[in-house]
Each structure stands twice: as C-alpha cells, then as structure tokens.
Amino acid sequence: MAPSGSPKGSLEPKASASPMDRLAGLALAPVHLIMGLADKPLRAWQKRTGIGGMALFFLAPNMLIFGMFVLLPIVINIVYSLTGGTALFLSERSFVGLDQYRQLFNCANYLDAMTCQEDAFWTSLDNTFWFVVLQVTLMILASLITALILNRELAARSFWRAVFFFPVLLSPVVVGLIWKWILQRQGLLNFTLLPFGFEPHTWLSDRGFAFGAAVGVSIWAHMGFYTLILLAGLQAIPKDLYEAAQMDGTRPARIFWRITLPLLMPNLLVVVVLALIKAVQVFDEVFILTGGGPGTSTLFLTQYIYETGFVSQPRNAGLAAAASILMGLVLVVLTLIQLGVGRKNEAKGKR
Amino acid sequence: MGNARGFLTRRKGGKGWHWTDIVTWVWLIGGLIVMFGPAVWLTFSSFKTPAALAEFPPSILPYVTQQVKVDGYEKPLALFEAKMPDGSTQVLAEVRRVGIVAQMVDPKAPGQIIRVNIADRQPVREIAFATENYTKPFTQFDFVQYLWNSVFVTVTATLITLIVNSMAAFALSKYEFKGRNAAMLVILATLMVPLSVILVPLYSIISTVGLFNNLWGVILPTVATPTGVFILRQYMLTIPDELIDAARMDKASEWQIYWRIILPLTAPALAVLAIFSVVWRWNDFLWPLIVLSRRELYTLQVGLSIYSGELNVQWHYILAMTVVTMIPVVLVFIFLQRFITTGIAGSGLK
C-alpha cells in the first residue's frame, strides 16, 4: 500500500496507518502515559529487590484477590460449619462442634427424606442426584450425536456449529425467562401441541413436568459447549484410519464402535466429568424457571444452600456452610477424577 | 424437472441419499428451530401489547385490534368484522359485551345499537410493534440504572481481569523463582472451588470489608479467574525468551518488558479472555443477587429476576428487558463466535 498523505519526516512508525489504527493509538495514549509513569518507581523497586521482587510484584495482585476471596473463604467455611447461631460475623458466633453436620444427617430412615430433621436438604440432595444422572446422560448423548453429525462432510459446518452453540452464551436468567414464557399456559408449547389435540396445560405447576423442564432446559442451554469439545476430539482422529476401514469394506456401525468411540473416549470422559461438575451445581436457570417448585420438586443443592444461608428467617449460616462443604467434597472428588483422567490421557499421548 | 431434482439431491461422489443423510438434515433443521426458535419467539412476543400476550392461541407477529373513535363514546372502541343475520359482513365497533352478545355500533351511524353474537365477529387487526414495552421500563422503572450497573460491572471487571491475570501469567511463565510451582498449584486448586461452595464465608468477608451493597463487591471476587491465568500463561510460554533477553540488554525494566513486549504479543489470548470475561460478567447472577440488596444497585440480571418473580408479573416489560439483556451476548455471538468456538475447542475451558 502506498503511504499516501503521511506527514513528511514523521518519526512515528505508524504514520501511514489507517484512521482506525490512529483512533486506537489515541485511545491507548492515556494507558501508555500511566504505564510510563508507573515505570519509575518500579525501576527503583527492581533495583532494590531484583527479579525475585519483580516476580512478587507481578503475582501480588492476583494472589491477594485469590487469597482474600477464594482461599480465605475456604478456611472460614470450615469454621462456619462448626458454629451455630444466627449472627453473621464469626466473632459473634458460638462454637457448636459437629452439631450442624449432625443436624444434616439426623434421619430416621435415610431412604425417606421426610423422616429427616433437615428434610429440605435430603430432598434437594435426592433431586440433585436424579438431575445429575438424567441431565448428564441425555446431554452427553445429544452432544455426541450432534458432534458426530457436525463431523460429517457438511456444507457450512461452522454455521451449524454456531447454531448449537448459541444458547451457551445466553445468561441463565434469560434462559430461564425464555422457557418460562414458552411453558406457560398461553405459551408456545401449548400452541404447538394444540393441533395434536392436547388441552393447554400449565406445565411448570406439574411436579413431574417441572423437573423434566429443568433437565431439558439445562440440556438446551449447555449442550453446545460439550458438542464443541467432542467435535474437536472427533476432528483429531486421523482420517487415514477411516480410509483404511473403508477400503476393507467395514460397516459404518463397526467403524463407529471400533474406531470412533475408542479414539474419542478420552475426550468423552473429560466431557462427562466436566458435565457432572456443572450439573451438581445446578442453580441459576432452574431457579428462574421454577423457583424450586412446585413444592420442592426442583429444589437443588445450591438453592438449598442459598436459601438456608441467605433467604430463610432466621438465616442459618452454619448449616449452609456445612451443606456447602459436603457439596464441595463431591466436587473435589469429581475434579480429582478429571485430573486423573487428563493425566492418563497425557501419558497415553506420550507413549 | 427431473434434471433439477437430480441436481438438488445430488451428493458428492455421485452416490444417492443414504438414511444417515436424512437423519443429519432432520437433526440440523430441528436443531436450528429448537436452538434459535425460543429466542426468536421471545423477541416477537416482546413487541406485543399485554392484551395480545394474554391471547391463546397466540399469534406469531404482534397484532393489535384496531380502534376507532366514535361520536358519543368517550373511549376509543375496538373494531370488529361482524357477520350480519342476512349473511353480509360489516365493520362495527363494540360498545360493550353482555354474556355472549356484543352490543355494537356502526362507526358511521353511531345512533343505532346492533346486537351480535360474539361467535359471529372477528377483530380487525393490524401489525403494530408495542415499542412502549421497551421505552417504559427505561423511563418509568429503574432499568436504565440496571443497564448502567451491568455495563459498569462488566467493563471494570474485564479490565481488571486482563491486567491482574496477565501480570500473574507473566510472572508464572517468564520467571524462575522459589514458590512458582506452589503458586501454580494454588491457582489450579481454586478451579475446584465454585462460588456455590463458598457463598457464606465470601459474603461475610465482603461484608467485613464494607463491600456489601456495592458494585465493587460484585467485581472483585470474580476478577482473579484461574481460567484467565491459564489461557494467558499457556500463550506467553510460546513467546521466545530471547526477546526478553534482548530487551534486558537494551536496559529495559521488567515493567517495560511486560507492557511493551509481552502484552502486545499476547493480544490474541487477551482478546479471547476479554470476550469470555465480558460474557461471564454480563451473565453473572447468583453472586450479584446476594451482594446487591438495594434496588438502585441491581444489575440487569438481578433486576430481571426480581421483576419476574413478583406476584403480578408484567410480562410485556419482562420480555422486552430480556431482549435488551440478550443484545450484547447476541452481538458477541454474531461477530466473535468463531474466536470463542476455536478458543474452547483448543483449551476446553468455559
């Protein structure tokens, strides 16, 4: 490109840059100024402390925020779970030992949530368990099918990939409201079912349907993400394997079971564990969609913790902390499994 | 004709349609409808008047019943197309409805009341976009404030995320120092600790430092994302150390190396993190819900959820504001979706 109109003798290296670049340069000017001003004291600091001090300087903000808002809360959480009372601040709370856990686990019959002292906890646990089982199974299945289809020779593949990814970006509140609107009595679902002779139904006030809707909506919202990972895994499978199988006249079903699935297994495992970790924490979209109801049919663990700790009167921070620690333990186990799976994959890759 | 059909259905390699092709297209078209349909439906609905929203079966496009001003009546009357006893149809305005009989008048001759069975009349309707669904929440409710809060939180949190995480990533990728592995491990471990596990203590810490009911209380706990450090560090590891050594020989300070050499070279990864961060912070719900309890501090997400949880849900406003909440994310989707999808596929991070 000819550097037309650039000022003669300008020392600026980007004198011929487009107006867009110039605008960006202008916008960045204050940033450069601040960064330049910060240089002097930092140079002095570097002189005094050397590279080690600079490393500390670069790490400090992140570590400070981590420490204060992640690590400290973990420690405090354990302390909280050992205290009772309704006060918020730890200094005003009394030590009760394992009472909160005892209260959570105080059940006449563990198979029946209603016989427990904290029946809401056990109901939410039960709901979460079934939610996790159903949501993860169905979602992985749907994601796998979608990924397999997107992996075929397809016109405009990136468009179709984007189609399934779209809901992933939507906020849980928006997702919840969209589906609440569709599932209500005058909603789109009843309208669609009308020609088939179904009477309008208020779906979300039906216990079974509300739970099904929670599962379905969360699959709708998240499957695109897992599809992407699985698709990446599928595309990493060497094409010559398929060509060889085709030359041998292998049936497609056999190709799937013998080539695709085994080679996709590492990705599939990672995706399953990721989905499990996410599903255990289900809250936002279901909370907006059903509010945990009707009754307690869609009350999940996170909502139980939220309501015990922040909504119920009096607030019971100790009980909420104890419940959240139990949930945290489940997540730690799942994460360790994930790390283990990842490491095994890596080891395999090296071999 | 046969040729055209052959052309339309021809396949690569000259083979005919296999059943898997049919499954593929059914799945894809179905996916298109299921994934986009709800959002599109919501957007159409958001332009309807409350009366049109309460209608069943609903119309797809926003219609309103035409109204007309008739002499002798204070309010405008709704227009209907009525079937007269003699079989002709006539456009009449409805005065009132008694049981199954509507009392109607001819707008041109308003003197005489005509009784029509309500089964024999159809409203005269036209397409109209109820834009007041959008303007009213902004002018009469606090939604401008919510929008501003959301924008403030998103922009500030993203900027801080980029600076803080890139600094940490620089130290963790380009320096050898004691405790580096420990720092890495700490950051990794926090990946395991989702917000829902530390709700109670985090809330008490935020209250202790006086950030309860403060937008900074929403921003600060989220800015040091392990994911961010991870993406940036992986990227910075690919920048050759020789560049840094050369800069040191030219007497550049470490700080200059960071912002004049490393940051510009990390721009692609920074862009990915920025996109992620914007979407995350814009969509955040549970934490803002806990930290913000004063109406004027709500973010859009919290405001929406509170309004939609009210006993008397004003769906026409909720729908419109849901669309507004969706807009930034849809823009990100349209213009930057390629970045995100390749970013996720490459790193497996959300």
Cα–Cα distance between A285 and A119 in angstroms, integer?
Answer: 23
Tell me, yes or no, whether B156 and B184 share the same domain.
yes
Tell me the chain B residues in contact with residue A160 when contact means C-beta distances shorter than 8 Å. Answer: 28, 31
Tell me, yes or no, whether B205 and B278 share the same domain.
yes
The 8-class DSSP code of residue B295 comes to G
Q: Would residue B54 count as lying in a domain? A: no
**Interchain contact B219–A (C-beta under 8 A):** no
**Interchain contact B253–A (C-beta under 8 A):** yes
Q: Is there a contact between B134 and B324 (Cβ–Cβ < 8 Å)?
A: yes
Number of domains in chain B: 3
Give the pLDDT score at A249.
83
Distance of CA A208 to the CA centre of its chain: 25
Across the interface, whether the CB atoms of A58 and B171 are under 8 A apart is answered: yes
Of all residues in chain B, the percent with pLDDT exceeding 70 is 92
Tell me, yes or no, whether B96 and B228 share the same domain.
no
**Closest in A89, A158, A164 to B204, CB measured:** A89
**Closest in B41, B196, B315 to A182, CB measured:** B41
Q: Is there a contact between A223 and A146 (Cβ–Cβ < 8 Å)?
A: yes
Tell me, yes or no, whether B331 and B272 share the same domain.
yes
Q: Which residue has the tokens 């996709």?
A: A264
Torsion of CA A318, B201, B147, B311, to 10 degrees: 0
CATH pick for A119-350 out of 3.40.50.300, 1.10.3720.10, 3.40.50.2300, 2.60.40.420:
1.10.3720.10
CATH number at residue B243: 1.10.3720.10
Give the pLDDT score at B345.
62
Tell me, yes or no, whether B93 and B15 share the same domain.
no
**Closest in B164, B200, B259 to A62, CB measured:** B164
Q: Would residue B55 count as lying in a domain? A: no
Give the pLDDT score at A203.
81
Q: Would residue B245 count as lying in a domain? A: yes
Interchain CB contacts (distance < 8 Å): A and B: 277
Of all residues in chain B, the percent with pLDDT exceeding 90 is 13
Averaged confidence pLDDT in chain B: 82
Q: Is there a contact between A120 and A197 (Cβ–Cβ < 8 Å)?
A: no
- Residue type for position B255: W
Q: Would residue B58 count as lying in a domain? A: no
Tell me the chain B residues in contact with residue A72 when contact means C-beta distances shorter than 8 Å. Answer: 201, 205
**Interchain contact B172–A (C-beta under 8 A):** yes
Tell me the chain B residues in contact with residue A77 when contact means C-beta distances shorter than 8 Å. Answer: 197-198, 200-201
Across the interface, whether the CB atoms of A171 and B282 are under 8 A apart is answered: yes
Neighbours of A292 (CB within 10 A): 24
Q: Tell which of B127, B154, B179 closes a domain.
A: B127
Give the pLDDT score at B288.
92
Give the pLDDT score at A346.
64
Cα diameter, chain B: 101
pLDDT digits (tens, 9 = 90+) for B33-42: 999 988 888 8
pLDDT digits (tens, 9 = 90+) for A15-37: 445 676 777 777 778 888 888 88
Q: Is there a contact between A266 and A233 (Cβ–Cβ < 8 Å)?
A: yes
Buried b (16+ CB within 10 A) or exposed e, A223-256: bbbbbbbbbbbbeebeeeeeeebeeeeeeeeebe
By C-alpha distance, the chain A residue nearest B251 is A43
Tell me, yes or no, whether B69 and B32 share the same domain.
no
Tell me the chain A residues in contact with residue B224 when contact means C-beta distances shorter than 8 Å. Answer: 61-62, 65-66, 69-70
Tell me the chain A residues in contact with residue B23 when contact means C-beta distances shorter than 8 Å. Answer: 149
**Closest in A51, A58, A149 to B167, CB measured:** A58
By C-alpha distance, the chain A residue nearest B332 is A169
**Interchain contact B53–A (C-beta under 8 A):** yes
Neighbours of A221 (CB within 10 A): 23
Cα–Cα distance between B94 and B85 in angstroms, integer?
Answer: 17
Tell me, yes or no, whether B231 and B202 share the same domain.
yes
DSSP H helices, chain B, are: 2-9, 19-45, 50-53, 132-139, 143-174, 180-190, 199-208, 215-223, 226-236, 241-249, 254-256, 263-265, 267-283, 286-291, 300-309, 315-347
Give the pLDDT score at A17.
55
DSSP assignment string, A36-60: HHHHHHHHHHHHHHHHHHHHHHHHH
**Interchain contact B246–A (C-beta under 8 A):** no
Give the pLDDT score at B160.
93
**Closest in B28, B197, B338 to A328, CB measured:** B197
Across the interface, whether the CB atoms of B164 and A76 are under 8 A apart is answered: no
Tell me, yes or no, whether B264 and B333 share the same domain.
yes
pLDDT of B91 strictly over 70? yes
Q: Would residue B330 count as lying in a domain? A: yes
A87: buried, middle or exposed (CB in 10 Å: 19+, 13-18, 0-12)?
middle
pLDDT digits (tens, 9 = 90+) for B22-66: 888 899 999 999 999 888 888 888 888 887 777 777 777 777 777
Tell me the chain B residues in contact with residue A152 when contact means C-beta distances shorter than 8 Å. Answer: 20, 24
Tell me, yes or no, whether B22 and B119 share the same domain.
no
Across the interface, whether the CB atoms of A65 and B224 are under 8 A apart is answered: yes
pLDDT digits (tens, 9 = 90+) for B202-259: 888 888 888 888 899 999 988 888 888 888 888 898 888 888 899 888 888 888 899 8
**For helices B300-309 and B315-347, angle between their N-to-C axes, nearest 10 degrees:** 140
Tell me the chain B residues in contact with residue A145 when contact means C-beta distances shorter than 8 Å. Answer: 27
Give the pLDDT score at B224.
82
pLDDT of B7 strictly over 60? no
pLDDT of B347 strictly over 60? no
Against a cut of 0.90, is the pTM above it?
Answer: no
pLDDT per residue, tens digit, chain A (351 aa), is: 334 443 434 344 444 456 767 777 777 788 888 888 888 888 888 888 877 888 888 988 988 988 888 888 888 888 888 888 777 777 777 778 787 888 878 777 777 767 778 788 888 888 999 999 999 999 999 999 999 999 888 878 888 888 898 898 898 999 998 998 888 877 788 788 878 877 777 888 888 889 999 999 999 999 998 998 898 888 888 888 888 888 888 888 888 888 888 888 888 888 888 888 889 888 888 998 888 878 888 899 899 999 888 888 788 888 888 899 988 888 888 888 877 776 776 666 554
pLDDT digits (tens, 9 = 90+) for B185-213: 887 777 767 888 888 888 888 888 888 88
Tell me the chain B residues in contact with residue A58 when contact means C-beta distances shorter than 8 Å. Answer: 167-168, 170-171, 175, 258
Across the interface, whether the CB atoms of A191 and B56 are under 8 A apart is answered: yes
Q: Which residue has the tokens 């902004």?
A: B138
pLDDT digits (tens, 9 = 90+) for A226-248: 998 898 888 888 888 888 888 88
DSSP assignment string, B135-188: HHHHHTSSHHHHHHHHHHHHHHHHHHHHHHHHHHHHHHHH---TTHHHHHHHHH
Domain that holds residue B309: 134-347
| 3-class state of residue B124 by DSSP | coil
**Interchain contact A332–B (C-beta under 8 A):** yes
Strand B63-65 relative to strand B67-68, pairing: unpaired
Mean per-residue pLDDT, B318-329 = 88
Tell me the chain B residues in contact with residue A228 when contact means C-beta distances shorter than 8 Å. Answer: 341, 344-345
Q: Is there a contact between A300 and A291 (Cβ–Cβ < 8 Å)?
A: no
Nearest of A131, A169, A174 to residue A302 by alpha carbon: A131
Q: Tell which of B127, B152, B177 closes a domain.
A: B127
Strand B63-65 relative to strand B125-127, pairing: antiparallel
Provide the CB-side half-sphere exposure for A221 (13 A, CA). Answer: 27
Instruction: Please state the length of chain B.
Output: 350
Structure tokens at A244: 């060889």
**Closest in B31, B38, B282 to A179, CB measured:** B38
Nearest of A206, A222, A205 to residue A275 by alpha carbon: A222
- Residue A346: in which H helix or E strand, if any? helix A317-350
**Band of the pLDDT at B350, cuts 50, 70, 90?**
very low
Give the pLDDT score at A7.
41
Tell me, yes or no, whether B7 and B155 share the same domain.
no
Structure tokens at A162: 């984007």
Determine phi and psi for B102, rounding to 5 degrees. -100, 135
Predicted interface score ipTM higher than 0.85? no
| Residue A51 distance to chain B (closest CA, Å) | 8
Q: Is there a contact between A294 and A240 (Cβ–Cβ < 8 Å)?
A: no
- Residue B110: in which H helix or E strand, if any? strand B109-117
Tell me, yes or no, whether B30 and B74 share the same domain.
no
Cα–Cα distance between B77 and B103 in angstroms, integer?
Answer: 11
Nearest of B137, B124, B64 to residue B94 by alpha carbon: B124
**Interchain contact A256–B (C-beta under 8 A):** no
Neighbours of A54 (CB within 10 A): 22
Contacts 24+ apart (CB under 8 A), A256-261: A260/A148, A260/A234
Mean per-residue pLDDT, B248-277 = 88
